[in-house]
A and B are shown apart, each in its own frame.
Chain A
Amino acid sequence: AQTVTQSQPEMSVQEAETVTLSCTYDTSENNYYLFWYKQPPSRQMILVIRQEAYKQQNATENRFSVNFQKAAKSFSLKISDSQLGDTAMYFCAFMIQRAGSYQLTFGKGTKLSVIP
């Protein structure tokens, strides 16, 4: 079974600063996908970034980037130039890349507060 661990229940960051959210996972699979989803107070789940395990290059999306360390099974999210709108719960999620397996396994989330 796959597990996803987010060790930081809550974090805060000053506006315009940089923050890194941690995520580790456990799997015996070699091919998989990793995701970060954002859930603001509206509860809408919004995809932030996606990483394919076979790609060595770390994914980036504007101010969001990941540090993917496959050997260490680590997938951290870096938010640069934090904005008030980044205040949300952030969930790390994992999916096996295999036909017939479509389940996203989520961590428990990290609550991020951006302080003005």
Chain B
Amino acid sequence: NAGVTQTPKFRILKIGQSMTLQCTQDMNHNYMYWYRQDPGMGLKLIYYSVGAGITDKGEVPNGYNVSRSTTEDFPLRLELAAPSQTSVYFCASSLAGTETQYFGPGTRLLVL
């Protein structure tokens, strides 16, 4: 049981490039989330999903897209990377909406 896994661990992007951050969970959780953590701050919700095929915006969705084709996977897409997207990105999952969220190890993204 690996829990929530994220790839890559670290990535440097040039302005305007695109990339996908991968997130997979093996706990059969229905709910999945993407957060970003800026230096010296707590986490802020980007997008979340309550099940396969269903996604919704969080607090800071601009510049990102998500999809949820399976229960296990919840990739986060950056289409045109900007320096403001330099951050650490965390994926999380929970069995239900009010259940405890379990986090992956994070992806550090640097946009130059």
Chain A interface residues (CB < 8 Å from chain B):
4, 33, 35, 37, 42-47, 50, 91, 93, 95, 97, 99-109
Q: Are B100 and A50 in contact (CB under 8 A)?
A: yes
Q: Is B41 an interface residue (CB 8 A)?
A: yes
* Total A-B residue contacts, Cβ distance less than 8 Å: 57
Question: Which of A46, A99, A104 is in CB contact (< 8 Å) with B43?
Answer: A104
Q: Are B45 and A103 in contact (CB under 8 A)?
A: yes
Nearest B residue to A100, CB-CB:
B97
- Binding-face segment, B12-20, B68-76, B78-86, B102-110: B102-110
Interface size on B, residues (CB 8 A): 26
Question: Which of A46, A100, A108 is in CB contact (< 8 Å) with B41?
Answer: A108
Question: Which of A46, A101, A102, A109 is in CB contact (< 8 Å) with B31?
Answer: A102
User: Given A33-B98, A102-B33, A103-B59, are A91 and B43 also a contact pair (CB < 8 Å)?
Assistant: yes
Residues in B with CB closer than 8 Å to A107 are: 42
Give B11-50 as 1s and 0s: 1 = Cβ < 8 Å from A's Cβ atoms.
0000000000000000000010101000011111100101
User: Given A104-B45, A106-B43, A108-B41, are A45 and B100 also a contact pair (CB < 8 Å)?
Assistant: no
A50 to chain B minimum Cβ distance, whole angstroms, is 6
Chain B interface residues (CB < 8 Å from chain A):
31, 33, 35, 40-45, 48, 50, 58-59, 88, 90, 92, 94, 97-98, 100-103, 105-106, 108
Nearest A residue to B31, CB-CB:
A102
B35 to chain A minimum Cβ distance, whole angstroms, is 8
Residues in A with CB closer than 8 Å to B50 are: 102
User: Given A33-B98, A35-B100, A102-B97, are A45 and B90 also a contact pair (CB < 8 Å)?
Assistant: yes
Q: Are B105 and A44 in contact (CB under 8 A)?
A: yes
In the assembled complex, the Cα of A47 lies from the Cα of B100 at a distance in Å of: 8
In the assembled complex, the Cα of A46 lies from the Cα of B85 at a distance in Å of: 24
